[in-house]
Amino acid sequence: LLSGDRCVILEDVTTTGGSALKAVDRLIEMGCDVVGCITILDRQEGGMEAFSEAGVPLYPLTTLADIES
């Protein structure tokens, strides 16, 4: 990756968002433009809020509530 590249993070499961947000921070340090994070499953345990606070959109394909209903 090069400075100025646009990036999307892909994550299998998001809980708090901590691991993916560390990757976001590293990519930003490298000069990349992180445009969002796609996750297969949002466990709805604070990840959405953490990404929102970081200014990075989180796009879940499904949520724990979807599965439980």
Q: pLDDT (tens digit, 9 = 90+) per residue, 4-37?
A: 999 999 999 999 999 999 999 999 999 999 999 9
Reduced to 3 states (helix: H, G, I; strand: E, B; else coil), residue 53 is helix
pTM here is 0.90
Q: pLDDT (tens digit, 9 = 90+) per residue, 48-65?
A: 999 999 999 999 999 999
Least Cα distance to 34 among 11, 67, 57 occurs for: 57
Q: Do the beta carbons of residue 42 and residue 14 sit within 8 Å?
A: yes
44-57 burial code (b ≥16 CB/10 A, e <16): beebbebbeebebe
